[in-house]
Amino acid sequence: MTSTFRSTSTQADVIAAVTTFLEKNPPPSMSETEFLGRRYDAGLAWVQFPVGSGGLGAPSALQGVVEGALLAGGAAPVDSMRNPVGLGMGAPTVLHHASVELRDRILRPLWTAEEIWCQLFSEPGAGSDLANVATKAVRDGDDWIVNGQKVWTSLAHRSRWAMLLARTDPTVPKHTGMTYFILDMTTPGVEVVPLRQATGEADFNEVFLTDVRIPDAMRISEVGDGWAVARTTLMNERTAIGGKQAPREEGHVGRLADLWRTRPDVRTPGAYAELMRLWVDAEVARLTNERTRQIAAMNQPGLEGSGAKVTSARNNQQVTKFLARLSPNDALTYDEWSMDKAPEHTRDRPETYHYLRARPNSIEGGTTEILLGQIADRVLDLPREPKIDPTLAWQDIPR
């Protein structure tokens, strides 16, 4: 479908576009992947994206109208977990920084989840201090040769594409000597090694890069300006983790409410007070996240997403701990130690699983300590923590 929609598109225009699309593409007549591909081609993946790149060039606020009209027409809701890194971080980064040619090549299979994405940022010596990355990229004609190690890379074992931050100039301060690339994970020299988690899963990986060649056409930042692009990725990551749109009582707090309603034996006065505190905290977070999501839809995400991510991690950990206390027998039994688990939702797994999986919530996607520091510095205008290396060349920083 060819569209002429621009920023003046109205709600009625978008509803009409969805109606026409559904008439030509009834959801029951095709697979989910085919339906999503046609939806992309019709500009109904992300309405704010340009025509030809999954969008209509329409106001981002109209995306909710699209989703509502598609649901009313019988389409299944979009599950962001089918390609979480690609949809939450890859797509907005590519939109804002990649060339039109690259954007049009990789966005469609990202949207349909035919090509999964991962994020090659963290390293053994550069986790919370991401600007300290040591993975090296050296120019060689029209290519870059990359050597280094990344760690805690979600879904690297399933991914076709990766967002890669690498050091291209060690002689300048650490924030100004990095460059941002899109890496084809099938390139020779890329080795993925799974990391087993406390739950028995292996969603995270180490990735070793040995003389990996990346064409310069896959560079999406100016040379040495990768930090600016990385910030786009990080802000979208935190919004994706903590600022999701959700109905009341979704997630762990919903399981807690269900347990309370169906198990009279757990209803003690002390437990009731704790239940209400956790329920109210979850509802406050949900409503705040809705505002965060609206802000992100209108602009590039900011530190609102960092606050949402901090709150999400804290709430998940407190609710799963309380659930384990209310169901001690379930919490003490666990036998799901297979590394290879399907990526679907995990609501029905034992309480031990949920308790263990919530532990890294305050680390993954930016540690709580780092995010609180950003909020203190950039929102509350509190004194910054002293730093010894802001003007030193990266190669001269003490290690």
CB 218 within 8 A of CB 263: no
Distance separating alpha carbons of residues 181 and 194, to the nearest angstrom: 23
Q: Which helix (H) or strand (E) holds 308?
A: helix 304-326
Helices marked H in 327-392 — which ranges? 328-331, 351-358, 368-378
The C-alpha R_g of the chain, in whole angstroms, comes to: 22
DSSP state of 46: -
> Which residue in the list 201, 237, 304, 351 is annotated as catalytic?
237
Distance separating alpha carbons of residues 280 and 260, to the nearest angstrom: 15
Q: Which helix (H) or strand (E) holds 290?
A: helix 269-298
Burial call 39-75: b when 16+ CB within 10 Å, e when fewer: bbbbbbbbbbbebebbbbbbbbebbbbbbebbeeeeb
Burial call 312-347: b when 16+ CB within 10 Å, e when fewer: bbbbbbbbbbbbbebbeeebeebeeeeeeeeeeeee
DSSP state of 150: E
Give the number of other Cβ atoms within 10 Å of residue 125's Cβ: 12
Tracing tokens 């990551």 back to the chain, one arrives at: 237
CA 341 to centroid of chain Cα atoms: 20
> Can you name the residues that pair with 215 across neighbouring β-strands?
143
CA-closest candidate to residue 207, choices 114, 141, 119: 119
Distances (CA, A) of 237 to 84, 151, 182, 233, 382: 9, 17, 17, 6, 25
Catalytic annotation on 237?
yes
Distances (CA, A) of 377 to 238, 381, 383, 388: 17, 5, 7, 17
CA-closest candidate to residue 146, choices 156, 160, 136: 136
Question: Which residues are annotated as catalytic?
Answer: 237
